[in-house]
Chains A and B, each alone.
Chain A
Amino acid sequence: MSDLAQRLTMTDASVKVSPLRIGERHVAGALILALCTVLVLIIALPLWALLSKSLEDTDGKFVGLANFVSYATTPSLFYSLLNSLLVASVTTVIVVPLAFLYAYALRRSCIPAKGAFYAAAMIPVFAPSLLSGLALIYLFGNQGMLKSWMMGASLYGPVGIIAAETLYSFPHAMLILVTALALSDGRLREAADAMGTSRWRIFRTITLPGARYGVISATFVVFTLVITDFGIPKVIGGQFSVLATDAYRQVVGQQNFPMGAVVGIILLVPAVLAFFVDRVVQRRQSAMLSARAVPYVPRADRQRDLALLGFVSLIALAIVGPYAIAFWGSFVRYWPYNLSLTLSNYDFAQVEPDGWGTYANSLMLASLTAMIGTALIFTGAYLIEKVKLFPRLRAFAQFLAMLPMAVPGLVLGLGYVFFYNAGWNPLGFLYGTLTILVINTIAHFYTVGHITALTSLKQLDGEFESVSASLKVPFWSTFRRVTAPICLPAILDIAVYVFVNALTTVSAVIFLYGADTKLASIAIVHMDEAGAMASAAGMASIIMATAIAVKLLHVGLDQLVFGRLQQWRQR
Chain B
Amino acid sequence: MSNDTTPFLSIRNLARNFGAFRALRDIDLDIHRGEFVCFLGPSGCGKTTLLRAVAGLDQQDSGTIHMSGRDVSHASPSERDFGIVFQSYALFPNLTVADNVGYGLVNRRRSRDEIARRVDELLTLVGLPDQGKKYPVQLSGGQQQRVALARALATAPELLLLDEPLSALDAKVRLRLRDEMRSLQQRLGVTTIMVTHDQEEALAMADRIVVMRDGAVEQVGSPEEIYRRPATPFVADFVGHMTFLDAVVTGPGKVRVDELDLVVANAAPFAVGTPVRLAMRPEEVRTRGIGEETLNRFEATIGDLAFLGSFCRAHLQPTGSRATRIAADFSTNAMRDLGIVPGQVRAVAFPPEALHVFAGEGR
A21 partner residues in chain B, CB cutoff 8 A: 78
Tell whether A303 is near chain B: CB-to-CB under 8 Å: no
A10 to chain B, nearest CB (A): 10
User: A25 vs B59: C-alpha distance in the bound complex, in angstroms?
Assistant: 14
Contact B90 A566 (CB under 8 A): no
Contact B188 A12 (CB under 8 A): no
A469 partner residues in chain B, CB cutoff 8 A: 56-57, 76-78
Tell whether B234 is near chain A: CB-to-CB under 8 Å: no
Contact B121 A24 (CB under 8 A): no
Interface of A is mostly: helix
B107 partner residues in chain A, CB cutoff 8 A: 472-474, 477
User: A470 vs B136: C-alpha distance in the bound complex, in angstroms?
Assistant: 20
Tell whether A467 is near chain B: CB-to-CB under 8 Å: yes
Segment of A1-9, A69-77, A108-116, A314-322 engaged in the interface with chain B: A1-9
Say yes or no: A24-B104 contact (C-beta < 8 A), given A5-B187, A481-B95: no
Say yes or no: A470-B94 contact (C-beta < 8 A), given A4-B125, A477-B107: no
User: A467 vs B125: C-alpha distance in the bound complex, in angstroms?
Assistant: 20
Contact A568 B152 (CB under 8 A): no
Residue of A nearest to B87 (CB): A463
A486 partner residues in chain B, CB cutoff 8 A: 93-94
Residue of B nearest to A461 (CB): B90
B315 to chain A, nearest CB (A): 36
B36 partner residues in chain A, CB cutoff 8 A: none
Contact A8 B125 (CB under 8 A): yes
> Which residues of B142-164 are within 8 A (CB) of A?
151-157, 161
Residue of B nearest to A388 (CB): B57
Contact B95 A5 (CB under 8 A): no
User: A461 vs B135: C-alpha distance in the bound complex, in angstroms?
Assistant: 16
> Which residues of A451-494 are within 8 A (CB) of B?
461, 463-464, 466-474, 477, 481-482, 485-486
Residue of B nearest to A389 (CB): B76
Tell me which of B106, B110, B188 contacts A8 (CB under 8 A): B188
B248 to chain A, nearest CB (A): 50
Tell me which of A11, A15, A470, A473 contacts B82 (CB under 8 A): A470
> Which residues of B52-86 are within 8 A (CB) of A?
55-57, 76-79, 82-84, 86
Contact B121 A461 (CB under 8 A): no
Contact A472 B104 (CB under 8 A): yes
Residue of A nearest to B108 (CB): A17
User: A131 vs B7: C-alpha distance in the bound complex, in angstroms?
Assistant: 76
Total inter-chain residue pairs, C-beta < 8 Å: 111
Tell whether B124 is near chain A: CB-to-CB under 8 Å: yes
Tell me which of A1, A467, A485, A569 contacts B90 (CB under 8 A): A467
Tell whether B335 is near chain A: CB-to-CB under 8 Å: no
Residue of A nearest to B110 (CB): A15
User: A222 vs B152: C-alpha distance in the bound complex, in angstroms?
Assistant: 52
Tell whether B311 is near chain A: CB-to-CB under 8 Å: no
Contact B135 A568 (CB under 8 A): yes
B132 to chain A, nearest CB (A): 14
Chain B interface residue count, CB cutoff 8 Å, equals 45
Tell whether A392 is near chain B: CB-to-CB under 8 Å: no
B137 partner residues in chain A, CB cutoff 8 A: 568-571
Tell me which of A4, A12, A470, A477 contacts B156 (CB under 8 A): A12
Contact A482 B155 (CB under 8 A): no
Tell whether B238 is near chain A: CB-to-CB under 8 Å: no
B189 to chain A, nearest CB (A): 7
User: A566 vs B95: C-alpha distance in the bound complex, in angstroms?
Assistant: 10
Contact A4 B155 (CB under 8 A): no
Contact A9 B189 (CB under 8 A): yes
Contact A471 B103 (CB under 8 A): yes
Tell which of A463, A485, A570 has the most Cβ of chain B within 10 Å: A463
Tell me which of A461, A467, A477, A485 contacts B84 (CB under 8 A): A467
B76 partner residues in chain A, CB cutoff 8 A: 24-25, 469
User: A567 vs B108: C-alpha distance in the bound complex, in angstroms?
Assistant: 28
Residue of B nearest to A568 (CB): B135
A152 partner residues in chain B, CB cutoff 8 A: none
Say yes or no: A567-B135 contact (C-beta < 8 A), given A469-B57, A470-B84: yes
Contact B121 A7 (CB under 8 A): yes
Contact B94 A566 (CB under 8 A): yes
Residue of A nearest to B109 (CB): A17
Say yes or no: A473-B103 contact (C-beta < 8 A), given A461-B88, A568-B93: yes
A567 partner residues in chain B, CB cutoff 8 A: 135
Residue of A nearest to B135 (CB): A568
A8 partner residues in chain B, CB cutoff 8 A: 121-122, 125, 153, 156, 188
Tell which of A9, A470, A477 has the most Cβ of chain B within 10 Å: A470
> Which residues of A26-51 are within 8 A (CB) of B?
none
Tell me which of B95, B108, B188 contacts A482 (CB under 8 A): B95
Contact B90 A466 (CB under 8 A): yes
User: A473 vs B57: C-alpha distance in the bound complex, in angstroms?
Assistant: 14
B152 partner residues in chain A, CB cutoff 8 A: 470
Residue of B nearest to A485 (CB): B94
Tell whether B17 is near chain A: CB-to-CB under 8 Å: no
Residue of B nearest to A475 (CB): B78
Tell whether B178 is near chain A: CB-to-CB under 8 Å: no
Interface flags, B102-127, vs A, CB<8A=1, else 0 = 01101111100000001001101100
User: A569 vs B161: C-alpha distance in the bound complex, in angstroms?
Assistant: 28
B46 to chain A, nearest CB (A): 18
Tell which of B57, B152, B161 has the most Cβ of chain A within 10 Å: B57
User: A401 vs B177: C-alpha distance in the bound complex, in angstroms?
Assistant: 46
Tell whether A426 is near chain B: CB-to-CB under 8 Å: no
Tell which of A473, A567, A570 has the most Cβ of chain B within 10 Å: A473
Tell whether B6 is near chain A: CB-to-CB under 8 Å: no
B188 partner residues in chain A, CB cutoff 8 A: 5, 8-9
B43 to chain A, nearest CB (A): 18
Tell whether B92 is near chain A: CB-to-CB under 8 Å: yes
B56 to chain A, nearest CB (A): 8
Contact A5 B104 (CB under 8 A): no
A56 to chain B, nearest CB (A): 44
Tell whether A423 is near chain B: CB-to-CB under 8 Å: no
Residue of A nearest to B125 (CB): A4
> Which residues of A411-457 are within 8 A (CB) of B?
none
A298 partner residues in chain B, CB cutoff 8 A: none
Tell whether B138 is near chain A: CB-to-CB under 8 Å: yes
User: A11 vs B86: C-alpha distance in the bound complex, in angstroms?
Assistant: 26
Contact A568 B94 (CB under 8 A): yes
User: A472 vs B108: C-alpha distance in the bound complex, in angstroms?
Assistant: 9
A16 partner residues in chain B, CB cutoff 8 A: 156
Contact B138 A471 (CB under 8 A): no
Say yes or no: A470-B77 contact (C-beta < 8 A), given A463-B88, A463-B90: yes
User: A351 vs B188: C-alpha distance in the bound complex, in angstroms?
Assistant: 81
B95 to chain A, nearest CB (A): 7
Tell me which of B57, B94, B104, B156 contacts A466 (CB under 8 A): B57
User: A292 vs B225: C-alpha distance in the bound complex, in angstroms?
Assistant: 43
Contact B125 A471 (CB under 8 A): no
User: A468 vs B135: C-alpha distance in the bound complex, in angstroms?
Assistant: 18
B189 partner residues in chain A, CB cutoff 8 A: 9
User: A73 vs B185: C-alpha distance in the bound complex, in angstroms?
Assistant: 82
Contact B84 A5 (CB under 8 A): no
Tell whether A19 is near chain B: CB-to-CB under 8 Å: yes
A569 partner residues in chain B, CB cutoff 8 A: 93, 137
Using a CB–CB distance below 8 Å, which chain A residues touch chain B? Answer: 1-2, 4-5, 7-9, 11-12, 15-17, 19, 21, 24-25, 461, 463-464, 466-474, 477, 481-482, 485-486, 566-571
22 contacts between A and B (CB under 8 A): A8-B188, A9-B189, A11-B118, A15-B108, A15-B110, A15-B155, A15-B156, A464-B90, A466-B86, A468-B103, A469-B77, A470-B55, A471-B83, A472-B107, A473-B104, A474-B107, A481-B92, A482-B94, A486-B94, A568-B93, A568-B95, A569-B137
The 9 closest A-B pairs by CB, nearest first: A471-B104, A12-B156, A469-B77, A463-B90, A568-B135, A5-B187, A461-B90, A463-B86, A472-B78
Q: A473-B103, A570-B137 are in contact. List 20 more A-B contacts (CB 8 A).
A: A1-B187, A2-B187, A4-B125, A8-B153, A8-B188, A17-B108, A17-B109, A463-B86, A464-B92, A466-B57, A470-B55, A470-B82, A470-B152, A473-B78, A474-B78, A481-B95, A566-B94, A568-B93, A568-B135, A569-B137
